[in-house]
Structure 1
């Protein structure tokens, strides 16, 4: 594998950091141990400055190159884990019940730390690198919190780049595309108020369970019959809470789920039709049904020029034949989208192995073979984007 610098020499050290993060997972903004470890290592590396508590618990470090360029680029990794019980059986499995790194953020953090160590030692670039360690990617909009806390403006970041591991794809491959790469991720909550009663006398009640089932069926037609077939939309109801026993029709029910879309027009359409369908189906079943629709992460939209640049960097590291420059978009969401909505940049997928479990799975574990590849990508990106004058 054509790694273009010396990350193989200390890949095991970086893997040790990764496994420590994996053993000690933390959720959302409660990443105090992880953030403290990250800040301590950055100071040991000799970066120019370290700031903690950005966006509550984020960590930001500045590394200045050799020369007087005023160019500034940001590199971002996420630190938080997921509320999942790990079942990998690995020696470094989670020591915290009910929490695990099931999305590889432990690997993302370790790879960016490895790149920061290298860049601090070599300074083979002209300009400024801002390394960003973000909390609360998994549903907490930590990227937006860091932006609100002045991340982009205070550090003068002009371009920003992110990376995510990609199960099912070999180590040593990358995938990217210009434009929409990942979907907007929205949440829906439907509350149904009926009339409870005895299960043997349903004609005297207004059953919220039957109404809820009808609503679930009806809203599936929004994707199949309202959205453009050439567009992309997903509506998934993932929770249905109602009732307490077998002989009572409950008074209320609650549904929850997610909506994923890749363009603003379809996003607007789905939200509008959801309100209409929920209201009208509820009325037809004699219950009151209300939809709370919450827009969370926007579409992860790569800048066209920056996506081409990121693809070129990947090709330098692993060869052009190992870079897919027009990967099919995924309907997963990513809050790096908030950063891409603020300054130009690109998000790239890095293959983590063909036999690695899917993300958000109890059997997932980051493949440490990706470490030298990912670190090399970051270092090559910096040295290419901020070249030293001859």
Structure 2
């Protein structure tokens, strides 16, 4: 851990607590963005606001070096009622930083302060504070707004805290690191009627039950057992009374995979099974199935690079061996489709799961993670690098 960052740990923690008290949803992060921009300007960064709606980019250029490095933090919160019991808990009813994006922002700001005041760099540093990760639209909107044309980078890195991994430890994954995710809304349209005379109806509840059962075969009979796929039905709604067969039942589900070809197979088979099962019962299925996040696929060269930075800076014992890919999803995937880079996992210790109302970001994780960012920048943006 860098001593200059450790010495400012309380200041970085205070920033996080302030952000935690004032969570903001996707594309509504106006206070958060203003606070980030204010601090970056105080520290000498050239600051651009409003990119992708509420995104902020801080640029630090030193020397004549031609190398350009991007570091990204997400800034949005979730529509969750906080139940953490913290003294600095959310002051906004129904909103919470339940995924640690306040911590990610504090980490990058801590590194930003160090690099502005102590950093030995020769090149250009682009710090990207991205809105709307939770909705999957922030990264792509920043890209569409000219992120990499206006703020070019040779490599882009991001991170996420992970409960269950010891604080101060880091996980690195070559290739697929997090799953793609697609959300589907399925309407099963039958013919309603009286529950006492089902022969005159087409029961969409019965049809939906058969569809749900059939969907359990999508992964087991269509995906190579050595690959990952998940189909989860998380919501079913239909009918109001015990003796009335409804006209419509609505299902909501998610589909996840590591590999693009598996993702395409799952999407195709979910659609086919829903439509054909409904038709077999004389019903009709309508499916809305927009594409969500792609999978986070780390680039091998950039992953090896930051892994070595971590080993040199912290010791091999703080790098988790054979860190496994995660089945959650992240829109950093869009940034990795546009530029080479890697997504890193940092330990949050023994905490409640992400997206839990009792989740707490571990303040002790800020200084080690900020030190990793600072060491990466100093190593990458080195004078006379080739």
Name 2:345's counterpart in structure 1: 349
- Residue number among 332, 356, 364 corresponding to 1:361 in the alignment: 356
**Separation in structure 1 between the aligned mates of residue 48 and residue 342 of structure 2, nearest angstrom:** 24
Gaps of 5+ in 1: none
* Counterpart for residue 59 of structure 2: 62
Could you give the per-residue CA deviations for residues 311-370 of structure 1, whole angstroms, max 9, x where no partner exists? 1122233211221353211111110011111111011000110x2111011110100000
Is residue 48 of structure 2 the alignment partner of residue 51 of structure 1?
Answer: yes
- Paired with 2:210 and 2:384, the residues of 1 have a C-alpha distance of 66
Aligned residue number for residue 163 of structure 2: 167
How far 1:389 sits from its partner (Å)?
5.2
Pair 1:211 & 2:207 matched: yes
For the 8 Å contact 1:317–1:373, the answer to whether it is kept is no
The structural deviation recorded for 1:178 is: 1.1
Q: Give the corresponding residue for 1:13.
A: 11
1:125-146 CA distance string (max 9 Å, x none): 1001000000000023201100
Give 1:378's match in structure 2, choosing from 333, 355, 373. Answer: 373
TM-score by length of 2: 0.97
For residue 30 of structure 1, what is the aligned residue in structure 2? 28
| Conserved? CA contact 1:311–1:325, under 8 Å | no
Q: Is the partner of 1:294 in helix, strand or coil?
A: coil
Query: What secondary structure does 1:188 align onto?
Result: strand
Distance 2:41 2:90 in 1: 26
Q: State the 1:242 CA deviation.
A: 1.2
Within a 5 Å distance, the mapping from 1:189-228 to structure 2 comes to: 189-228=185-224
- 1:71 is the counterpart of 2:95: no
Identify the residue that residue 313 of structure 2 maps to in structure 1.
317
How many residues align? The count is 385
C-alpha contact (below 8 Å) 2:136/2:292 kept by paired residues:
no
Q: Do the aligned partners of 2:119 and 2:374 also contact (CA within 8 Å) in 1?
A: no
Q: Does 1:94 align with 2:94?
A: no
Alpha-carbon distance between aligned partners in 2 of 1:108 and 1:132, rounded to the nearest angstrom: 11
Match of 1:152 among 124, 143, 148: 148
Tell me, yes or no, if structure 1 residue 84 matches structure 2 residue 61.
no
Aligned in 2, Cα 1:325/1:129: closer, same or farther, shift over 3 Å?
Answer: farther
Candidates 108, 111, 124, aligned match of 2:120:
124
Contact 2:260-2:294 within 8 A present in 1 as well: no
8 Å contact 2:75–2:130 — kept in the other structure? Answer: yes
Deviation at 1:92, TM superposition (A): 0.9
1:273 aligns with 2:252: no
Give the match for residue 42 of structure 1. 40
Alpha-carbon separation, structure 1, partners of 2:153 and 2:384:
21
How far is 1:371 from its partner? 0.9
TM-score by length of 1: 0.96
Q: Is the 8 A contact 2:136 2:330 kept in 1?
A: no
Separation of aligned partners in 2, 1:157 and 1:213? 50
1 CA distance for matches of 2:119 and 2:304? 25
Query: Could you tell me which of 235, 244, 251 is aligned with 1:239?
Result: 235
Deviation at 1:172, TM superposition (A): 1.3
Unaligned runs of 5+ in 2: none
Contact 2:302 2:342 in 1 (8 A): yes
CA distance in 2: counterparts of 1:245 and 1:115, whole angstroms? 58
